[in-house]
Amino acid sequence: MKLDRKFGSFGGQYVPETLMNPLIELEEAFKEYCSTEAFQKEYMYYLKQYVGRPTSLYFAEKLTRTCGGAKIYLKREDLNHTGAHKINNVIGQLLLAKKMGKTKVIAETGAGQHGVATATGAALFGMECTVFMGEEDIERQRLNVFRMELLGATVQPVSSGTKTLKDATNEAIREWVRCAEDTFYVIGSVVGPHPYPTMVRTFQKIIGEETKKQIMEAEGALPQALIACVGGGSNSMGLFYPFIKDTTVKMFGVEAAGHGIETKQHAAAFAEGRVGVLHGMKTYLLQDAEGQILPAHSISAGLDYPGVGPEHAYLYENKRVEYTSITDTEAMDAFQLLAKQEGIIPAIESAHAIAYGCKLAPSMQADEVIVICLSGRGDKDVHTAAQYLESTRV
């Protein structure tokens, strides 16, 4: 069976010819191995014993009371080893890389979470790992650079373009063009050329599968709403995918509005409504009239990406998911609220989802249920948060 290369008119493989056979080989290997019982068993073994899954679905009682309205549950991806959902995908891709006989892996990273997860997996499976990271992000996320190096990875600084995630991704793709014969490229989100968006979603859908089971146990019914933040969109795709056919479940993807959509300093690809091609995929992008990609802005480095996964573009067009956005300020308010109310410091990425949950809950009934994906923990963000709070203090 051939996998669909596109989601409606989105996705595809807009890459140099040199990468086409490597992508075809990857698709073949993904189809051959990943659905087998043996692979699933191995994948689940590592997710359980190494990552610590299943993560809990926690009823945030105090937050619910404060917001008033629907019951708010948090899917605790922050409790995973390495502190975010990124590791689910890395374990899957690295197991596949091993099956394909690849000995080296490369990855791109923005905030450093995917880089740390890849470095972790590479250490676990004994692979040589190089992580491409923009010089500006290296500056902003020194701690994660140190973590990756401690794990034995090489961090390759990227000085082209905006020196952030977008350019780190370009550089990782360029490197892959050079060395695809022995190197596996571990993409960190549901972005890039086919089969990556499908593959990453497959390795993240465990979030939604667990959620479905857990909410049925807790509430005896499906939730009325799901909320997750969207940068490239892997935690949201992982949560949403198993619920797509459950049409009573509303889904909300929350992009980063940065300083506000009207300021143009944001990372909300859907807000601008322009389709283009970047990083091998056709999707919604931040771009100017001539198709030059515009720099994104968000206080959260993990949402600071000018595009969005092509399956999200598809779900946006067929209106299955509603996409909305939250500003830096709203996210930082939610960041503090969750810390004080529940004793959980969320990643600033996830704080965007929390902020939208706090807006949505009061419009719903007390017997209705919202599940928010708490995609990562905020330890990595305390420095950014301290700077932010310092700057807003009058």
Partner 1 sequence: MNRIEMQFKKLKEKDKKALITYITAGDPDIHTTEQLIYAKERAGAHIIEIGIPFSDPLADGPVIQRAAQRALERGITLQQIFDCVDSVRAHTQIPLVFLVYYNTILAYGVGAFINKCEQTGIDGLIIPDLPLEEREEILPAIQNSAVALIPLVSITSRDRISAVVQNGRGFVYCISSLGVTGVRQDFREDLNEFLGAVRQATDLPLAIGFGISTREDIERFSPYVDAVIVGSAIVQQVEECGGDVDRVEAFVKNLVVG
Put the strands of the sheet holding 183-186 in their side by side order. Answer: 154-158, 128-134, 104-109, 183-186
What is the C-alpha separation between 201 and 191, in angstroms, rounded? 10
Q: Are 153 and 118 in contact (CB under 8 A)?
A: yes
3 interacts with partner 1 by CB under 8 A: no
Q: Which residues lie below 8 Å from residue 298, measured CB to CB, with a gap of 6+?
A: 231, 256, 258, 266, 267, 304, 328
Instruction: Choose the stretch contacting partner 1; rule: CB under 8 A; options: 123-131, 173-181, 343-351, 371-379.
Output: 173-181
What one-character-per-residue DSSP string does 292-354 give?
A: PBPPP--SSGGG--SB--HHHHHHHHTTSEEEEEEEHHHHHHHHHHHHHHHS--B-HHHHHHH
C-alpha of 217 from chain center: 27
Catalytic annotation on 86? yes
CB of 24 to partner 1, least distance (A): 9
The residue annotated as part of the active site, out of 71, 75, 102, 108, is 108
What is the C-alpha separation between 219 and 7, in angstroms, rounded? 33
CB of 22 to partner 1, least distance (A): 7
Contact string 121-160 vs partner 1 (x = CB under 8 A): ---------------------------------------x
Question: How many residues in the shown chain lie near partner 1 by CB under 8 A?
Answer: 37
Q: Which residues lie below 8 Å from residue 253, measured CB to CB, with a gap of 6+?
A: 228, 229, 230, 233, 236, 240, 312, 315, 316, 321, 322, 323, 324
Nearest residue (CB) to partner 1, 285 versus 334: 285
276 interacts with partner 1 by CB under 8 A: yes
Q: Hey, which residues between 180 and 199 contact partner 1 (CB under 8 A)?
A: 180-181
273 interacts with partner 1 by CB under 8 A: no
Q: Are 205 and 242 in contact (CB under 8 A)?
A: yes
Instruction: Choose the stretch contacting partner 1; rule: CB under 8 A; options: 114-122, 272-280, 333-341, 343-351.
Output: 272-280
Which of 78, 154, 81 shows the shortest CA–CA distance to 115? 154
Q: Could you tell me the two tokens for 20?
A: 């086409």
Nearest residue (CB) to partner 1, 8 versus 152: 8
Q: Are 77 and 372 in contact (CB under 8 A)?
A: no
Contact string 14-53 vs partner 1 (x = CB under 8 A): xxxxxxxxx-------------------------------
Catalytic annotation on 159? no
What is the C-alpha separation between 43 and 93, in angstroms, rounded? 10
The residue annotated as part of the active site, out of 27, 71, 75, 86, is 86
Over its C-alpha atoms, the chain yields an Rg (Å, rounded) of 19
340 interacts with partner 1 by CB under 8 A: no
Contact string 292-331 vs partner 1 (x = CB under 8 A): xx--------------------------------------
Nearest residue (CB) to partner 1, 5 versus 359: 5
168 interacts with partner 1 by CB under 8 A: no
Catalytic annotation on 108? yes
Figure out which of the listed residues 124, 261, 277, 339 binds partner 1, where binding follows CB under 8 A. Answer: 277
CB of 360 to partner 1, least distance (A): 35
Q: Are 102 and 183 in contact (CB under 8 A)?
A: yes
Which positions are catalytic? 86, 108, 375
Chain positions contacting partner 1, by CB under 8 A: 5, 12-22, 160-161, 166-167, 170, 173-174, 177-181, 275-280, 285, 287, 289-293
